[in-house]
A and B are shown apart, each in its own frame.
Chain A
């Protein structure tokens, strides 16, 4: 297990390094970036940039210094707002985005697994067909479309829920719904197909031959095995939810990091775009690392990889 974790850890560091390097050199090539000869009009901003990017130094010094900043969680200044840095934006926006993301994951995982399991247990029944109809629609309808439909219906037409912001429990319902539907659908589909597969396995037949109750067979014997493929797609899923927050925060005017990020894209605030991208990537890769560790715990075959008995 330790070796497995260490290996994953180095993969994580390598990935972050690649992203940071990529952003650094891409940034060098963009007109309008801090490295452009042209100076910005605002002296405070210019001073910030020169300080952060060591503009008077040769490129390789800049590069290693940049890596050092990243390693110390300093993601750089803004080119548009003199008193902001990526870090101040993160401090304000990230907790909100994080909350949105976590609630979404919770909703998606719980409802997706439940739906997928029920569908598999009632294979070719009504529950199965309606769950899969929901799933294929959920996968096909982009979250921004769903978000606007939800606002139109629940907020505008029926006046049941607030249309925007993130200020109370009620405010959280629509954004979460809009963001969670896609992942729920994906998890439900995957759970169903892997559950169907697992239910044909010999060890399930053996569990039935022991005369165990159906509840125990599903919960204790089938579910854990069926969830392994679900854990492996958690990485992609997290990435989807993370980028989904950009869209959802924009539509619902939620003051999270995603909203600032989209703003920075729209007004071409390059340092913020770069800094946020690196931060987001590092965050995501770290989450993937956590997922891998969780996987190691769920699957005993990975956990004990290094000290097998006589297998």
Chain B
């Protein structure tokens, strides 16, 4: 018998039984943070997503407070102030009615954000109910409900929205109604998928007689996991609703002045773009783009942060 490597330098006194140390072997499992804390920690590392979040918070604050604080009137035409470029008095310039574009931009932010968030929330509620029932009931109910979804999914959404807007006449309510009538389908699908996952888990664990622990596991681990995709979907619904609203405004189905959305402001500015009044188009366009950008990067970041697959 030959020992290739010299083991002899090991001191004799180390040759004594050590005793079994199974706990130590188990303890190498890394500390498990709660799901949300873990996701938040990862989201915080994503600079782009955090930038988007900060931007959206600031935007919301401005949308709430800036119109209240603004000294400028945007109800009566101000002939003395028509079409002025950005200046100390009018940071974003004025439009053809002499209204302050800065003030109008924040009114527009209210409209756009409201439309986006309202659409996302309503989608969420309808989706939870429909998808929840479909997934929970299963069987025939599920098949029929899913067939309905399949057909609705095949409808060209924006065209249906246009049709509804034409019929109902443009207003804040009709935009939201039209967007959610077509928009909830995607959410319902996701919710159903998640419900099925929970059900499946319940089934598996119940059959293995995990007993009392099951509901705790569902509450603590599974529910947060299944909420992930739903929250991401909501986050991504907002920019698409904002886009849809701007698009509708742009083809003449928008909410009219003075409290106009960004889309309407951009649409109104279009005929004059060649006359050099760039600020009238630039600012609403900039804010639409930045807001959509912020929501998109935030949604992407959340998707990465919440995805349990990538959990290390």
Direct touch of chains A and B (CB < 8 A): yes
Binding site for B on A (CB under 8 A): 11, 14-15, 18-19, 22-23, 26, 29-30, 136-137, 139-142, 144-145, 148-149, 151-152, 156, 163, 239-240, 242-243, 246-247, 250-251, 262, 265-266, 268, 270, 273-274, 277, 280-281, 284-285, 288
A15 with B155, Cβ < 8 A, contacts A30-B167, A148-B281, A277-B162 known: yes
Please give me the 9 A-B residue pairs with the lowest Cβ-Cβ distance, nearest first: A140-B293, A140-B292, A145-B285, A266-B252, A141-B289, A243-B158, A15-B154, A284-B156, A262-B251
CA distance A142 to B290 in the complex (A): 11
CB-defined contacts of B251 to chain A, threshold 8 Å: 246-247, 250, 262, 265-266
Give the Cβ gap from A249 to chain B, nearest Cβ, in Å: 10
- Of residues 48 through 82 on chain B, the ones whose CB sits less than 8 Å from some CB of chain A are none
**Chain A proximity mask over B160-173: 1 for CB below 8 Å, otherwise 0:** 10111011000000
A277 with B163, Cβ < 8 A, contacts A140-B296, A239-B158 known: yes
Question: Most chain-A CB neighbours within 10 Å: which of B154, B157, B252?
Answer: B154
Give the Cβ gap from B306 to chain A, nearest Cβ, in Å: 16
CA distance A142 to B242 in the complex (A): 10
CB-defined contacts of B163 to chain A, threshold 8 Å: 22-23, 26, 273-274, 277
24 pairs from A and B in contact (CB 8 Å cutoff):
A15-B155, A19-B156, A19-B160, A26-B164, A30-B166, A145-B266, A148-B266, A151-B273, A152-B273, A152-B278, A239-B156, A240-B158, A247-B250, A250-B251, A262-B252, A266-B251, A268-B166, A273-B166, A274-B163, A277-B162, A281-B156, A281-B159, A284-B156, A288-B154
Would you call the interface of chain B mostly helix, strand, loop, or mixed? helix
- Of residues 280 through 312 on chain B, the ones whose CB sits less than 8 Å from some CB of chain A are 281, 285, 288-290, 292-293, 296-297, 300
Quick check: A11 and B154 within 8 Å, CB to CB? Answer: yes
Give the Cβ gap from B163 to chain A, nearest Cβ, in Å: 5
CA distance A117 to B26 in the complex (A): 43
CB-defined contacts of A152 to chain B, threshold 8 Å: 273, 278
Closest Cβ neighbor of A262 among chain B residues: B251
Give the Cβ gap from A156 to chain B, nearest Cβ, in Å: 7
CB-defined contacts of B266 to chain A, threshold 8 Å: 144-145, 148
CA distance A262 to B267 in the complex (A): 13
Contact residue among A26, A137, A262, A285 (Cβ-Cβ distance under 8 Å from B167): A26
Give the Cβ gap from B71 to chain A, nearest Cβ, in Å: 29
Quick check: B300 and A136 within 8 Å, CB to CB? Answer: yes
A-B contact count (CB 8 A): 110
Quick check: B252 and A142 within 8 Å, CB to CB? Answer: no
CB-defined contacts of B222 to chain A, threshold 8 Å: none
Quick check: A18 and B155 within 8 Å, CB to CB? Answer: yes
The answer, yes or no, to whether B111 is at the interface (CB within 8 Å) is: no
Quick check: A148 and B300 within 8 Å, CB to CB? Answer: no
CA distance A242 to B158 in the complex (A): 10
Q: Kindly list 10 other residue pairs between chains A and B, CB separation below 8 angstroms, not including A137-B289, A240-B158, A266-B251.
A: A14-B151, A30-B166, A30-B167, A140-B239, A140-B293, A141-B293, A142-B288, A247-B250, A262-B251, A280-B156
- Of residues 141 through 162 on chain B, the ones whose CB sits less than 8 Å from some CB of chain A are 150-151, 154-160, 162
Give the Cβ gap from A35 to chain B, nearest Cβ, in Å: 12
Quick check: B252 and A243 within 8 Å, CB to CB? Answer: no
Closest Cβ neighbor of B165 among chain A residues: A265
The answer, yes or no, to whether B246 is at the interface (CB within 8 Å) is: yes
CB-defined contacts of B166 to chain A, threshold 8 Å: 30, 265, 268, 270, 273
CA distance A223 to B147 in the complex (A): 32
